[in-house]
């Protein structure tokens, strides 16, 4: 069947499924809207959490990032999974026992203060909106590429789809839709990986294939990849470290703490029936996430290998065995049209040379030996996963599946974020601060209106992006790590922590992290407003801004403890509440107040 027809068919079928689920599980009460009535089984909840968590970035970008970063890509793998250990051990069970709808609810009650609630709402909104803009862009790009629409209409279709099922269904609809989306996305991710692993190593499981020998050779896959890359002037794949030890450490830690502090992830643990299930649910979420995250290193490494072997066709490097431009395969032609893969014939030999011309010694050698005048092929990292099935010559239905999977990943995350944004406005801001007397029905309506506005705003920002997606996401994690996570954790583990300490800590963490990032990335990321260039020699003690969330978290805790010592400890009834939260027994259904 024609590829385009196949894509329509597969994407269409997946949509019919999501809509059916949304209609079947319409939310009637605020409890169903915000936390799915708290009746979701831990395995189902874990699966929904995994879909919520794994965004277009995990699905599309991560393997490409690893392909080009080698060993140091591990910072993302460990960072985005290790956070679940912190969640399961330090937050999830206690927040579930506390039994409210939202993260600002907890902060406001635990720190008995409207000011604390406002600080929490602000951090939450900044984080969630920066995050969702990236998702909406992902949705638009996926729709426009695979449905052959222009970017504007791609965004309109995407917004309409997100609107119809998240506004109608609320958390209940979203949870069940996300389970379906998880199945679609994990199937789409692993099927091509299995095929490619079989092609290269003859081993079915990519996780094992990456550590096995190449087909028809007794050389290990990774050993061969190291050899292939060093032959063209790159560093060894298995030891390449882009960050240096200090910054790899700080970045990994910031991503872990940030993951555990992201409100749209935390809120998932309010949807399970009891404390025991909250603990278990974090474990299941990680199992489902790990299916993709342990496959990604194999996808990245094997895609890199295939890419190099496409261009350098011989066993060893020689001018005659580089790929002639007119012989290039169809997938290269397809991606050239998008501008995400470019070729420039610097030495006019009609052949493609791909090597590390940043390595001066090798560049000199290549010029003397082969007459190469610079690297001629530029490949955008983000196309690695999408182009992977084409590179490996897999059948059309696999390519169609990737389309449906990418869309599922972006949609599920967008929906989860929208819910957090709408609840923080209708529940935390409106009911919690502005109009406490509001009825349940009016609150539900306000939630849906807030969600509609959030979709319009996210769609607008997705089409007219402030840009710099990677920096903005780093900011979201930095903020979560430096503001919310320490406040939540101390609220449970430091019984005497008072509102003065918590508010001062959150503000200190938030502001120091913002300032450090803006110093190097520009105020509000506007180019040219940075105080110093974003390079290692200007960084304070060599700390990369993307890893600063770790330092921000430390500042938060230290400031909070100092302020706490200087002010009166938390009142007795708050300390009693903390005692109660620490014990599982008596977790009932949640209430809004």
Partner 1 sequence: MQPTGSAAEYWKANVRLLLGCLVVWFVVSFGFGILLVDVLNNFNLGGYPLGFWFAQQGSIYTFIGLIFFYVWKMNKLDKQFDVDEE
Decide if 392 contacts 398 (C-beta within 8 A): no
Backbone dihedral angles phi then psi of residue 569, each to the nearest 5 degrees: -65, 165
Q: How many CB atoms lie within 10 A of CB 453?
A: 12
| Closer residue to partner 1 (CB): 301 or 429 | 301
| Closer residue to partner 1 (CB): 87 or 125 | 87
CA separation for the pair 592, 442 (Å, rounded): 14
Decide if 387 contacts 328 (C-beta within 8 A): no
Closest approach, Cβ 287 to partner 1, in A, equals 6
CA separation for the pair 505, 206 (Å, rounded): 44
> Nearest to residue 108, comparing CAs of 562, 416, 390, 487?
487
The DSSP symbol for 341 reads E
Tokens of 170: 């609320």
- Three-state SS string over 204-233 comes to CCHHHHCCCECCCCCCEHHHHHHHHHHHCC
Decide if 393 contacts 196 (C-beta within 8 A): no
CA separation for the pair 15, 9 (Å, rounded): 10
| Closer residue to partner 1 (CB): 22 or 581 | 581
| Closer residue to partner 1 (CB): 279 or 381 | 279
Identify any residues that bridge with 213 across adjacent strands, giving them in sequence order.
220
| Closer residue to partner 1 (CB): 466 or 586 | 586
Closest approach, Cβ 448 to partner 1, in A, equals 33
Identify any residues that bridge with 341 across adjacent strands, giving them in sequence order.
379
CA separation for the pair 169, 163 (Å, rounded): 10
| Closer residue to partner 1 (CB): 275 or 366 | 275
Closest approach, Cβ 569 to partner 1, in A, equals 15
| Closer residue to partner 1 (CB): 9 or 287 | 287
Closest approach, Cβ 203 to partner 1, in A, equals 10
Tokens of 154: 């791609």
Closest approach, Cβ 197 to partner 1, in A, equals 13
Decide if 70 contacts 235 (C-beta within 8 A): yes
> Nearest to residue 354, comparing CAs of 333, 381, 377?
377
Decide if 252 contacts 82 (C-beta within 8 A): yes
Q: Where do contacts with partner 1 occur on this chain (CB under 8 A)?
A: 66, 71, 73-74, 77-78, 81-82, 84-85, 88-90, 93, 207-208, 210-213, 220-223, 238-239, 245, 248-249, 252-253, 274-276, 279-280, 282-283, 286-287, 290, 293-294, 297, 493, 576, 579-580, 582-587
> Nearest to residue 420, comparing CAs of 470, 480, 462, 490?
480
Closest approach, Cβ 385 to partner 1, in A, equals 16
Taking phi over 0 as left and psi of -120 to 50 as alpha, with beta for the rest, 436 belongs to alpha
Closest approach, Cβ 91 to partner 1, in A, equals 12
Closest approach, Cβ 261 to partner 1, in A, equals 16
**Residue for token digits 């295939």?**
306
> Nearest to residue 200, comparing CAs of 211, 189, 215?
215
For the residues of 51-82, what is the DSSP string, one character each?
Answer: HHH--HIIIIIHHHHHHHHGGGGHHHHHHHHH
| Closer residue to partner 1 (CB): 89 or 318 | 89
| Closer residue to partner 1 (CB): 179 or 275 | 275
The DSSP symbol for 272 reads S
Closest approach, Cβ 445 to partner 1, in A, equals 34
Closest approach, Cβ 189 to partner 1, in A, equals 15
Closest approach, Cβ 275 to partner 1, in A, equals 6
| Closer residue to partner 1 (CB): 66 or 363 | 66
| Closer residue to partner 1 (CB): 15 or 220 | 220
């Amino acid at each position: 069947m024609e590829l385009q027809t196949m894509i329509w068919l597969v994407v269409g079928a997946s949509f019919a499924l999501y809509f059916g689920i949304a209609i079947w599980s319409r939310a009637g009460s605020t409890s169903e809207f915000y936390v799915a009535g708290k009746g979701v089984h831990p395995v189902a909840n874990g699966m929904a959490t995994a879909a919520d968590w794994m965004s277009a970035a995990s699905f599309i970008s991560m393997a490409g990032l690893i392909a080009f970063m080698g060993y140091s890509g591990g910072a993302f793998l460990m960072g985005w999974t290790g956070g679940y250990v912190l969640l399961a051990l330090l937050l999830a069970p206690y927040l579930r026992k506390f039994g409210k709808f939202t993260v600002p609810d907890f902060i406001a009650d635990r720190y008995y203060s409207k000011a604390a609630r406002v600080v929490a709402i602000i951090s939450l909104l900044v984080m969630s909106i920066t995050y969702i803009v990236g998702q909406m862009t992902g949705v638009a790009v996926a729709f426009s590429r695979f449905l052959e629409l222009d970017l504007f209409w791609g965004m309109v279709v995407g917004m309409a789809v997100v609107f119809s099922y998240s506004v109608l269904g609320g958390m209940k609809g979203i949870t069940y839709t996300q389970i379906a989306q998880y199945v679609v996305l994990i199937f789409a991710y692993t099927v091509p990986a299995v095929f490619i692993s079989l092609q290269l190593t003859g081993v079915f499981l990519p996780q094992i294939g990456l550590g096995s020998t190449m087909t028809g050779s007794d050389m290990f896959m990774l050993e061969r990849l190291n050899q292939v890359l060093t032959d063209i002037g790159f560093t060894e794949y298995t030891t390449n470290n882009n960050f240096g030890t200090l910054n790899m450490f700080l970045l990994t830690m910031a991503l872990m703490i940030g993951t555990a502090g992201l409100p749209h992830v935390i809120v998932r643990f309010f949807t399970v029936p009891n404390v025991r299930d909250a603990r278990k649910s974090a474990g299941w979420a990680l199992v489902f996430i790990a299916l993709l995250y342990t496959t990604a290193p194999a996808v990245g490494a094997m895609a890199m290998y295939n890419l190099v072997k496409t261009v350098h066709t011989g066993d060893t490097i020689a001018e005659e065995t580089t790929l002639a431009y007119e012989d290039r395969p169809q997938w290269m032609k397809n991606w050239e049209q998008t501008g995400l893969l470019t070729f420039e014939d610097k030495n006019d030999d009609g052949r493609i040379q791909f090597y590390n011309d940043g390595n001066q010694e090798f560049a000199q050698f290549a010029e003397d030996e082969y007459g190469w005048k610079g690297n001629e092929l530029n490949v955008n990292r983000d196309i690695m996963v999408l182009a992977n099935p084409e590179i490996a010559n897999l059948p059309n239905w696999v390519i169609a599946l990737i389309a449906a999977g990418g869309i599922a990943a972006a949609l599920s995350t967008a929906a989860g974020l929208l819910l957090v944004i709408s609840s923080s406005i209708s529940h935390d801001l409106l009911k919690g601060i502005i109009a406490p007397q509001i009825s349940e029905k009016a609150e539900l309506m306000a939630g849906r209106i807030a969600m509609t506005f959030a979709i319009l705003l996210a769609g607008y920002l997705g089409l007219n992006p402030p840009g710099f997606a990677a920096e903005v996401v780093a900011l979201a994690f930095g903020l979560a790590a430096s503001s919310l996570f320490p406040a939540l954790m101390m609220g449970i583990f430091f019984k005497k922590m008072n509102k003065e300490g918590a508010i001062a800590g959150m503000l200190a963490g938030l502001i120091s992290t913002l300032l450090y990032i803006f110093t190097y990335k520009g105020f509000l990321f506007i180019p040219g407003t940075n105080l110093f260039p974003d390079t290692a020699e200007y960084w304070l003690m060599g700390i990369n801004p993307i890893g600063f969330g770790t330092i921000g978290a430390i500042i938060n805790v230290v400031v909070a403890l100092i302020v706490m010592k200087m002010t009166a400890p938390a009142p007795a009834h708050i300390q009693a509440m903390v005692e109660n939260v620490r014990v599982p027994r008596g977790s009932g259904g949640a209430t809004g107040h």
